[in-house]
Structure 1
Amino acid sequence: MPRRSRRPAGLDRRTFLAAAGAVGTATATGLGLALGPDSRQAAASQPTADPTQSAAATEEVAAAAPTGAGTTLVSVAAPRGTTGYRRLGEGPGWPRVVRSELATGRPGREDRRTTLASFVQFTDLHLTDVQHPLRYEFFRAGDAGAWRPHEALTLPGAVALVERVNKLRRGPATGSPLGFVITTGDNGDENAKIEAEWFLTALSGGRMNPQTGDPRRYEGVQDSGLKLYWHPDSALNDDDKKLGYPRIPGYLRAATRRVDSPGLRIPWYSTFGNHDLLSGGCYPAKGSFIEEVCVGNKKLQTISAAEAKWLMEGEVAGVDPKGERIKALLREHRKNLRTVTADPRRVPLTAREYIAAHLDPAHKGRGPLGHGYTRANLDSGELYYSFRVSDRVVGISLDSTDPGGHYQGSLGTAQLNWLEKTLRDHRDEYALIFSHHPSWSMNNLTPDPARPGEKRHDGNELIALLQRHTNVLAWINGHSHRNRVRPRGSFWEVSTASHVDYPQLARVIEVADNKDGTVSLFTTLIESDAPYRTEYTDLSQTGLASLYRELAFNAPGSDGSLAGSPTDRNTELLLARP
């Protein structure tokens, strides 16, 4: 879970807590079929589509005239004023930029093209149990950006994003119906069972109760009496109120109230992130002392600035992948721990337990059952798979999380070999690659405890492999919480900002054959459906989603560059393809 920071010497923003089928025709949208670990399976051998999906598709078979309505092409949240705590309102949209580093666009292509895929990427939702006994809020003692004042509102924020996609319905560049949504990891925050259930419910539909622990009262840092944290309900002159954060009586009660999600109206797929396996995104939890703390009744709320910086510097360097420094810290501060209410739903999940939760029919939503993961994944514990995007495009979801610990990623040899074989088997189709980590964050070669003799492979090796296969169009990822689009010789690497740190975005991606020897990938950023302006007296679910955005914009230590440059936002990415 990356934290915002002003990057003091020796520390990097990424390290704080980060350290710490469907609709339309086959040529227009995803078919919603998981091919599983063995990509040789034919789409025809997969289960037939859910009849509810077919019914929903009847009104969305054909493409419509493209429109930017509901996207950042038309408007983007913008601050009012220039200093201090600022309110938000509607600002001008971001234009689409044509990028021709890998091919030259030919006139008239917009009249010739046919759509190969149209879908949405969610990434880094970080649905958070803010009362969890082992949250790493105490890092804030070392840097103001190491804790998010707005993180109690991740659930209504995610639902507002679901509502945006449900209203959008079509790709803004081609007008083709959206075929599916795919997440690219960090769906939860603490690898807790309850967070995984919230994630599955938010996307598939249903009710979520953010109130963990004691059902009668909040037990997190925002009522601790420590000035280090924003106390919205009290008159305490905490550090955030000194910066202009408001007092909002009733906030904590509202933030722990039931949240309802309509669920996505199109199928969705899931990709695994480091926060979905590791405590704080860094430390193996299952079967360790960390698991005991997670389901226990003691919570550490603050440490000294020196201790916080020592921990963060260790995470930057990756010197403590097992969390021994955290263990020592908890032991040293055992007399200062707050007593909270234990909750068994906070238990960390293994990879197989995570897959099993996806395969629960209660979380099917619009499907497919498992959201990419199959019984074969459950048997093997492998979190990578392929799926059918359209009759000409295959999707490949990777597992870039290193089970050995540390927030950066890598791939094991077995997965790398599987990827090579899958790309060969689909050499006559285009391929889209999905992972949590981008290439520049894949430098963690910590051995996998389950496969201690297996070599781990970094981002440069993965780029080289993908460049050997000319059917690869794009590698789409997250993790860095930053919009960044880079040419990689024969394909594009597209990394998208998170939905927890401002500007809280997701990305629509459309792939089109221009019928002239080129392919265009259109990327268009979208915000949640929450209003730009919030009223502090509006503590409805929609009001909280709006407040979520405003609080995130004003978060102390926030990084104002996460939106990226214009060339990282709304783009047409050209590729030469016969």
Structure 2
Amino acid sequence: MSRLRSVADGLAVNRRTLLATAGAVSLSAGVGYALRPTDSQAAAAPAAEAPVASSRTAPTTAPLAPYTRGTTLATVATPGPDGPGYRRLAEGPGWQRVVRDELAAAAPGREDRRTVLAAFVHLTDLHITDTQHPLRLEFLRSHDPRAWRPQEALTVQGAVALVERINALRGAPATGAPLHFAITTGDNTDNNSRTELEWYLTVMSGGRVTPDSGDPRHHEGVQNSGLKQYWQPDAPLRDADKQRGFPHLDGFLTAAAREVLSPGLNLPWYSTVGNHDAMPLGCYGHGDPYLADFAVGARKLMTLPAAEARRLQDTLKAATDPLGAHLRDLLKAHARDLRPVTPDERRAPFTAAEYVRAHLDPAHTGTGPVGHGYSTANAEAGTQYYSFRVADDVIGISLDTTDPGGHYQGSIGTAQLRWLERTLRENADSHALVFSHHTSATMVNTRPDPARPTERRHNGDEVLALLGRHRNVLAWINGHIHRNTITPHRASDGHSFWEVSTASHIDFPQLARVIELSDNNDGTLSLHTTLIESAAPPRTDHTDLSQTGLAALYRELSLNRAGGTTGQEGDPVDRNTELLLKKV
């Protein structure tokens, strides 16, 4: 059976001791060594932020047993038959694990020899959404039905249900090892809004969230606008979605805005930035005062002719409007079509430094670590990348692949690329796990950073080449594409690693992923990946508008989203897997 040699033993002992003596706040010191990016090299965290757990403990002698309860190995929320109408979900059979040996041969008996090095949860693309925010593009739905999600009002309830599922896991699915940490790889918020950032951090760290902005007495978004192109859940209006079978739910909007209680993750957690966290609408660079004022103002555009919607969407896809000039001109041209809403300063966009400082706020420490990977050095330098110690022989590296110059695709600057190479070189005796928001294939935006106009930007192929030069790299773990995909990468010298992309938690099927790293003690390593759903039940009761009932409805609505992309769960080889690697 599997043996454990990682942070798990220290984590179990120290967390229990600290919780018993000083409460959860004592854990704010964090777990893992926060290696801080500076202009020279990554520096170890000061003693005040020393980890409460590390791998410097004796290996456990007790065998570990797999733990599949609550994972997609056991059951999966399964849609009813395809058809033109509204579909319901029910509990269906689980997905089997697939062994992938493209990069190394799978030797028999390895499950009885292996030593567990790390086990953690990867979640990505939560897209916590303030649906009443004035600076949103729901009106693109007149051209593209996918441009608006009817489930968006329930992102907080859905994210809390995911936290509840993670907390309920009593061991890693393949090995049974304790889970060491969780990491989210960006698009934690949807619209670079302070309301969304506060909600996201509270969901993750624990506390009460009221997912509402503007006038607290009534909803001021598209879902009570009387416009037939949007689902009007509380109204008798026969809107386009109700014609497809969407339910009429009295009290939905009131329930969606009610206070939500999050237990917070019971694991240390780390945060990575995505384009929706970094830029308004996930694609417009900061700098236009008109758009910043519009975000907190008293007007909102809810409808637009299809032809104009198509032109705006084309500029977004082609990245020809990185600072939102076209959007600004469009809003001004449609001044008479703007609807009144209650202004709210809490909806203001946030900068990169503000994003980092919000993570450092003691109110959001939860189980730690302080800053969730970010440091005061990040805030002072204007950077959002860092590294952290997972175990004695495993390092985690979190990149910032967003491009401040605008557009939703990514890249990294020369300074970060050099820091990445230096970090890998200085930790050559450690296995390396690299985390980012963008995938290698979506790092194609090399527009200059306005704050560093002379610095070159580097694409995904260049990052792949760099990772291929370092034999300690085992995996590049990311999100952004809202789809489960696992890709093998082979360097010219025979070194190989896996790229693991995990689906979002806003679009169906709303998944996260447990990842386990083990030494098979036969010249190979294994990465086990296991998908998990939220704790909400698959089957909904449309009369249940409780926090749990809304989380279940969140998943069902995402399934039925008009024009929604299918197949985001990926093929069987992209879901529950064992990924073999040669040990070097």
Report SS of the residue matched to 2:153. helix
Residue 239 in 1 paired to residue 257 in 2?
A: no
| Structure 2: unaligned runs, 5 residues or longer | 1-5, 16-29, 491-495
Aligned to 2:49: 47
CA change 1:538–1:108 in 2 (3 A) is same
| Structure 1: unaligned runs, 5 residues or longer | 1-20
Aligned to 1:331: 332
Q: How many residues get paired?
A: 552
Please give the alpha-carbon distance, in whole angstroms, between the structure 2 residues aligned to 1:61 and 1:260.
Answer: 39
Aligned to 1:386: 387
Aligned to 2:561: 555
Structure 1, residues 125-184: CA drift from partner, whole Å, max 9, x if none? Answer: 000000000111011011111100010000000000000000013210111100111000
Aligned to 1:568: 574
Please give the alpha-carbon distance, in whole angstroms, between the structure 2 residues aligned to 1:493 and 1:27.
Answer: 30
Structure 1, residues 419-438: CA drift from partner, whole Å, max 9, x if none? Answer: 00000000011000000000
Q: Which amino acid aligns with 1:383?
A: Q
Q: Which amino acid aligns with 2:380?
A: D
Residues 31 and 368, structure 2, Cα contact 8 Å, conserved in 1: no
Residues 432 and 472, structure 2, Cα contact 8 Å, conserved in 1: yes
1:256-335 alignment runs, 5 A limit? 256-285=257-286, 288-335=289-336
Please give the alpha-carbon distance, in whole angstroms, between the structure 2 residues aligned to 1:527 and 1:98.
Answer: 21
Report SS of the residue matched to 2:477. strand
Shift, 1:49, TM fit: 3.8
Please give the alpha-carbon distance, in whole angstroms, between the structure 1 residues aligned to 2:344 and 2:106.
Answer: 57
Please give the alpha-carbon distance, in whole angstroms, between the structure 2 residues aligned to 1:297 and 1:141.
Answer: 23
RMSD over aligned Cα atoms: 2.0
Please give the alpha-carbon distance, in whole angstroms, between the structure 1 residues aligned to 2:535 and 2:9.
Answer: 24
Please give the alpha-carbon distance, in whole angstroms, between the structure 2 residues aligned to 1:124 and 1:94.
Answer: 22
1:71-470 alignment runs, 5 A limit? 71-83=71-83, 84-285=85-286, 288-470=289-471
Please give the alpha-carbon distance, in whole angstroms, between the structure 2 residues aligned to 1:461 and 1:503.
Answer: 32
Report SS of the residue matched to 2:49. coil
Residue of structure 2 aligned with 1:520, choices 522, 526, 533: 526
Please give the alpha-carbon distance, in whole angstroms, between the structure 2 residues aligned to 1:499 and 1:206.
Answer: 20
Please give the alpha-carbon distance, in whole angstroms, between the structure 2 residues aligned to 1:61 and 1:456.
Answer: 48
Report SS of the residue matched to 1:24. helix
Shift, 1:316, TM fit: 1.3
Residues 156 and 545, structure 1, Cα contact 8 Å, conserved in 2: yes
Please give the alpha-carbon distance, in whole angstroms, between the structure 1 residues aligned to 2:335 and 2:37.
Answer: 45
Please give the alpha-carbon distance, in whole angstroms, between the structure 2 residues aligned to 1:61 and 1:351.
Answer: 45
Report SS of the residue matched to 1:131. coil
Q: Which amino acid aligns with 1:89?
A: A
Please give the alpha-carbon distance, in whole angstroms, between the structure 1 residues aligned to 2:157 and 2:344.
Answer: 22
Residues 125 and 185, structure 2, Cα contact 8 Å, conserved in 1: yes
Report SS of the residue matched to 2:112. helix
Please give the alpha-carbon distance, in whole angstroms, between the structure 1 residues aligned to 2:447 and 2:565.
Answer: 29
Report SS of the residue matched to 1:236. coil
Residues 73 and 96, structure 2, Cα contact 8 Å, conserved in 1: yes
Shift, 1:45, TM fit: 4.9
Residues 188 and 196, structure 1, Cα contact 8 Å, conserved in 2: yes
CA change 1:448–1:42 in 2 (3 A) is closer
Moved more, 35-44 or 445-454: 35-44
Shift, 1:257, TM fit: 0.6
Report SS of the residue matched to 1:292. helix
Please give the alpha-carbon distance, in whole angstroms, between the structure 2 residues aligned to 1:358 and 1:71.
Answer: 29
Report SS of the residue matched to 2:129. coil
Structure 1, residues 384-419: CA drift from partner, whole Å, max 9, x if none? Answer: 000011111000000000000000000001000100
Please give the alpha-carbon distance, in whole angstroms, between the structure 1 residues aligned to 2:472 and 2:448.
Answer: 31
Aligned to 2:583: 577
Aligned to 1:68: 68
Q: Calculate the TM-score normalised by the size of structure 1.
A: 0.93
Report SS of the residue matched to 1:159. helix
Shift, 1:22, TM fit: 7.1
CA change 1:140–1:253 in 2 (3 A) is same
CA change 1:263–1:380 in 2 (3 A) is same
Please give the alpha-carbon distance, in whole angstroms, between the structure 1 residues aligned to 2:251 and 2:322.
Answer: 40
Aligned to 2:9: 24
Report SS of the residue matched to 1:233. coil
Residues 23 and 31, structure 1, Cα contact 8 Å, conserved in 2: no
Shift, 1:67, TM fit: 2.1
Q: Which amino acid aligns with 1:534?
A: T
1:466-477 alignment runs, 5 A limit? 466-477=467-478
Please give the alpha-carbon distance, in whole angstroms, between the structure 2 residues aligned to 1:177 and 1:62.
Answer: 13
Shift, 1:352, TM fit: 0.4
Residues 119 and 510, structure 1, Cα contact 8 Å, conserved in 2: yes
Residues 7 and 390, structure 2, Cα contact 8 Å, conserved in 1: no
Shift, 1:507, TM fit: 0.4
